Structure 1
Amino acid sequence: MTFTVKIFLISVFVSSSFIIYHFIDVQAQHLLAQALYLGDPDAFNTTKEDCVWKREGADNLCPDPAIRIIMYTSGIVKDKLVFTMDHPDWLNDSEWQPAKENIILVHGYAGGDDTLPIAVLRDAYINHGGYNVFLVDWGTLGQPPCYVAAVYNIRPVSVCLAKLLMRLRALGLPPEKTTCVGHSLGAHICGLLANFLNFRIERIIALDPARPLIKPGNINRLDSGDAKSVQVIHTNAGHYGEGGRVGHIDFCINGGRRQPYCGNSSNINLCSHIWAVCYLAQSLFEGSEPMAEPCNRRCPTSVLLPTARQRSGRFGYAVGYAIPMGQKTPMSASGSYCIKDTHPPFCPSHAGAPGDKRCCI
């Protein structure tokens, strides 16, 4: 039985966890664990019996100890503050700075506070110094090997996260200066929470939004209606990541499917899926922004070689011109754009250069 067939069989499921697992044989469950865990599948200290299925309803309290918003203060990773709903002036009593843009980071399956790959992006925003950095930790609801439960849980996570963000807004967090950045399943959480907010998110940056068990047109799927600007960066489209157009603007890296610097990886698709994080991290720093050219409507697609204009660094934002991908993409940008890049993004080329060694192959 092929991977595609197995995914189809387990994607036709209903809300009961018992019925879901009825359709997943041992072999398919092992395949999901291997394919989607960001690390060594033999390192699991949990089993499917440990999976948490978060029920919606009045019995679910929010805030929830399994859904935390962590703010990083002082520009130092170890200095962090967990948001509490009952503090009457939490933002102003913290080191939050109202002049800065607010970044809400949402990890994917098998993530959590201080885990890879989201920690690379967290550290990049903190080290840049120009942002208020918040991280949504829902790791206990998406622990390996519980990918099916993680997909099931993104809706209740989004409901609670929306309540937390509305409280932060009441304390002074401005929606027009707030971006939700999500990787994999985290990208769909950024989109889904928009359905439960009493305001509209300014921008979503979705890093290779997860594809397995996320049905096109499903209520739990990210789409362009979820924010004023929805940007999607595809690095493994059609496999672990969504294929085709998803947002207002979609970027296809090296065709959007497999990254050339992942060729020696034991799992080229998983490697490609993760590296979307490093592309966004690279885009934060002046002079390092990846530049993209207009291209076809879908990923995977052919990619365009850099033009003389692109290499010279002189760019316009009119139709047909290259634009920066990532944090500095214009809010008004739309369509499909492609990048050809044979080097691992955000891998420092020399001492003192912007980058993170964890983004080097």
Structure 2
Amino acid sequence: MFLWQYLTPVLLITLQICKAQKCEEFTDLDLKHAFIGTHLRVKLLLYTRENRSCALQLSHTDLSATPSFNVSRPTTFIIHGYRPTGSPPIWINEFTQLLLERKDMNLIVVDWNRGAANVNYVKAKENTLKAGENLTALIKVMKNYGVSLDSIHIIGISLGAHIAGFVGANFNSSIGRITALDPAGPLFTGSSPENRLDPTDAQFVDVLHTDIDALGFRQPLGHIDFYPNDGTDQPGCPTTIFSGGAYFKCDHQRSVFLYMESIKPNCKIRTYPCSSYKDFLDGKCLNCEQFGPAGCPIFGYDVIERKDIIVKLSQIKTYFKTNPKSPFCMTAYTVDIVTWNQEVRFGYITIKLHSGSKESVATTDHGATKFKKFTKTQMLAHFDSYIEGPVDKISLTFTTGNVLQPLYKLRVLTLRLTPVETKDRYTKIKEITFVFLKILKSSFSLPRPLCRYDFILEENQKKTLRPIPCEDTNF
């Protein structure tokens, strides 16, 4: 009895706190609502490190009503896009957890499902302007409470990307950052900058394009625009309509999953400015001197670290390749081949790197490569995984794709595989001093170029070789 006298008040206080901090859920609708049509209603779901898994509803006008909101922290908004079925986005929980793990912030999920859920896309598009006005009013309140506009990061997905643009335009480029994940194309393509996202909407605007031939926006919209896999058909996504709904949304939705992976520490993707995706695949765009000693920009969350250089260089289009599923990051090697065939040969090379029981595969299949006698042919090979240990074997397969012609042989005088990241890092080191290079060489184990000399590749026959030190390497 004596113990309960002390425990009862504590339990009552705890119960009151739980009632005061009722966990809010993202609005869950269904096809019925979408067919009837929904009217815009914006709900603000606040997550912080103190309430990671329990969203609190944030007032549009009184921030003090939600004590978890801390004006001294940076604030990130996530704005979803069109919801034709009315269901909550499948990525909401993981996205919020990744961001809060990365940084202590006020994270606000903008739930405008009532307004985005409508089979009539035109109505949902019209609601983007109203949603932008709603968030503009909120940020004005935040500013009055002492929140710095510099510290605000708005992440907009599809239609949400243009909502972010409308909000940013209302603050005359004062918002710190807008990240647009596959901005919606339908009804926005061809419109003037004031009617869509554009680079002047924030101090820094980074854009990811994954479905430019269907639901996404094709042209650049930011200070830097990323085009993975040329921004069209994403690896691992269905290629026929018989796959159901995934056929329509997979490419578009991939932008969210790529960006979420960029928040993680173990999958960093370097991207390369280029005039075309083909030139990138041909290895013609690996020079990153314009970006300074740190090399070409890393895709995603951390690109903000290169803000000053990127904004100065103005609108940049960059390309990269990804795996079909997580981890999406690939490892790039330049492949230099010199052949000794009397006649010109065209074909494709598949390469496997082996390290013990682990292997990594790359196929140069975007176009037949031309092999001419005594002429160096360079390709860019993207391997599906990073080999941490020393490469003890290289397997190569040469194919032509010509089923009705005799099989060919490729006489290779020189084969050299150079990790692109090693080339970047080695260039930076050389820029410091040659003496320091020797110190670093003895202190760090950088991936080394892999070479073989004078061997024959028979068409459709795998050739396995042990790499040897390259004769002209500086390592």
TM-score, scaled to structure 2 = 0.54
The alignment status of 1:45 with 2:20, answered yes or no, reads no
- Cα distance in 2 for residues equivalent to 1:175 and 1:167: 11
Count of equivalent residues:
286
Is 1:46–1:145's contact at 8 Å kept on the other side of the alignment? no
The alpha-carbon distance between structure 1 residues 306 and 123, as it changes in their structure 2 partners (threshold 3 A), is farther
Contact residue 189 and residue 217 of structure 2 kept, 8 A: no
Whole-angstrom CA distance in 2 between matches of 1:95 and 1:160: 19
Q: 2:99 aligns with which of 117, 125, 145?
A: 125
Which secondary structure state, in structure 2, belongs to the residue aligned with residue 68 of structure 1?
A: strand
Residue from 92, 101, 108 that aligns with 2:74: 101
1:10 alignment counterpart:
none
1:97/1:315 CA distance change after superposition, 3 Å = farther
Is 1:87 the equivalent of 2:68?
no
1:327 equivalent to 2:301? Answer yes
Does 1:203 find its partner at 2:177?
yes
Residue 279 of structure 1 corresponds to: 258
Provide the residue aligned with 1:236 in structure 2: 211
Q: Is the 8 A contact 1:231 1:249 kept in 2?
A: yes
Q: Does residue 134 in structure 1 map to residue 115 in structure 2?
A: no
Deviation at 1:268, TM superposition (A): 3.6
Aligned twin of 2:226: 251
- Structure 1 residues 67 and 303 mapped into 2: Cα distance closer, same or farther (>3 Å)? farther
Query: Is there any run of 5+ residues in structure 1 with no aligned partner, and where?
Result: 1-42, 55-65, 349-361
Pair 1:78 & 2:53 matched: yes
**Residue 188 of structure 2: which of 208, 214, 217 is its match?**
214
Per-residue deviation, 1:238:
2.9
* In 2, Cα distance between equivalents of 1:101 and 1:260: 35
Deviations 1:95-142 (A, max 9, x none): 5372x4321110001188953244442232134344321111111011
CA contact (8 A) 1:73 1:81 kept: no
Q: TM-score, normalised by structure 1?
A: 0.70
Spell out structure 1 runs of 4+ moving beyond 6 A: none
* SS of match in other structure, 1:296: coil
Partner of 1:341: 322
Contact 1:236 1:257 in 2 (8 A): yes
C-alpha contact (below 8 Å) 1:315/1:323 kept by paired residues: no
The aligned residue for residue 450 of structure 2 is none
Is the partner of 1:262 in helix, strand or coil? coil
Q: Distance in 1 between matches of 2:225 and 2:236?
A: 21
Displacement of 1:319 in angstroms is 9.2
How far apart, CA to CA, are the structure 2 residues paired with 1:187 and 1:295? 24
Superposed CA offset, 1:292-335 (max 9, x none)? 111127xxx3373598xx9xxx9994399321111110223241
Matched, 1:304 2:280: yes
Equivalent AA in structure 2 for residue 341 of structure 1: T
Give the match's secondary structure for 1:179.
strand
